[in-house]
A = this chain, B = another copy of it.
Amino acid sequence: ALRGRGLDVHLFQRSGHVLQPFGEAVADRVEPELTAQGVTVHTATPVEALCGDDRIEAISYDGGRQPVDLAVVGVGITPNTGVVADTDIELGAGGAIATDKFGQTSRPDVYAAGDCATAHHTVTGEDTWMPLGLTANRGGRAIGSTVAGNPEPVGDIAGTAVVKAFDLECGRVGLIDDEAAREAGFEPVRKTITAESRSGYYPGGAETDVTLVADRETGRLLGGAIVGADRAAVRINTLATALNEEMGVAEVERLDLAYAPPFSPVWDPILVAAKVLRGSIQ
């Protein structure tokens, strides 16, 4: 949006690549796209200070100083648990209010949902803290039903997220970080493939990269990421559904996914990724 208004945009990123939660394969597509669209990307470059007297005039970082008119700061969030600070209600993952599968806190008559509360992770089975919009919405509705006498679980969270970077659509779901997968007791194996989004002869297709991560021992799908310019992001919902059902990579490979030249090649990019990953596990 800022580039669209003709501004000179610099992106400073502390980590080694952009879009950290989406994994390296997505970042490897997004960074050149940002550059091509005129954004100057500074990875592995923490901002040290916002400089200026009355207003921000520059930011400083290791080895440099960048004059700016405007700074958009994204430094993460923490759960706002002030509302229970003076109570004995227990906190859990990420310092959020610990809840069970009905959103109930450690006190039977108190429920919590949304960005302040923990949730149950689809893949690890552990409590986690992932503040996302749908999770908050679902939790609110389910708890409303539960306290009105009709118990309704708030639902697990797979960490499904999608984002747009100019024309690139990015999606991620589940455990795609090797370290997180190992901590959860899995031995992650990963493959990234590039496939066309449409039949080769049909105009308008775009290269779509799919990364899948599975557990070597069981073949269970652990997570995935997708990036591409042609309807890539919503394809992540197929993987979110597969994770919810604890599907193995071999089962994903046999899914009857849609084929028609304007929308997909005979083998959907997800099926290609499952086939390649399965080949490397067996």
Which A residues have a C-beta under 8 Å from some C-beta of B?
122, 132-135, 137-138, 153, 155-164, 169, 171, 173, 231, 233-238, 240-242, 244-245, 247, 251, 254-260, 262-264, 266-268, 270-271
Contacts and interface: CB of A to CB of B under 8 A. Distances in A.
29 contacts: A122-B256, A134-B259, A135-B256, A137-B266, A137-B267, A155-B255, A160-B258, A160-B259, A161-B258, A162-B263, A164-B262, A169-B263, A231-B234, A233-B258, A233-B263, A234-B234, A234-B263, A237-B255, A237-B257, A237-B258, A237-B268, A238-B241, A240-B257, A241-B241, A241-B242, A241-B247, A241-B255, A244-B255, A245-B245
Contacts of A160: 256-259
A156 B240 contact: no
A214 to B, nearest CB: 16
A118 to B, nearest CB: 15
Number of chain copies forming the complex: 2
A256 B153 contact: no
Given A160-B259, A171-B258, A237-B257, 16 more contacts: A134-B257, A134-B259, A137-B267, A155-B255, A159-B256, A160-B257, A164-B260, A164-B262, A173-B256, A231-B231, A234-B258, A238-B238, A240-B255, A241-B241, A241-B242, A245-B247
A233 B137 CA distance: 25
B260 A162 contact: yes
Contacts of A266: 133-134, 137
A258 B234 CA distance: 7
Nearest to A135: B256
Contacts of A169: 262-263
Contacts of A262: 164, 169, 233
Contacts of A245: 241, 245, 247
Nearest to A282: B150
Nearest to A245: B245
A254 B270 CA distance: 22
B155 A254 contact: yes
Contacts of A122: 256
A138 B250 CA distance: 12
A129 to B, nearest CB: 15
Contacts of A258: 160-162, 171, 173, 233-234, 236-237, 240
Given A233-B258, A242-B241, A258-B237, A263 B164 contact: yes
B138 A254 contact: yes
Given A138-B254, A153-B254, A162 B241 contact: no
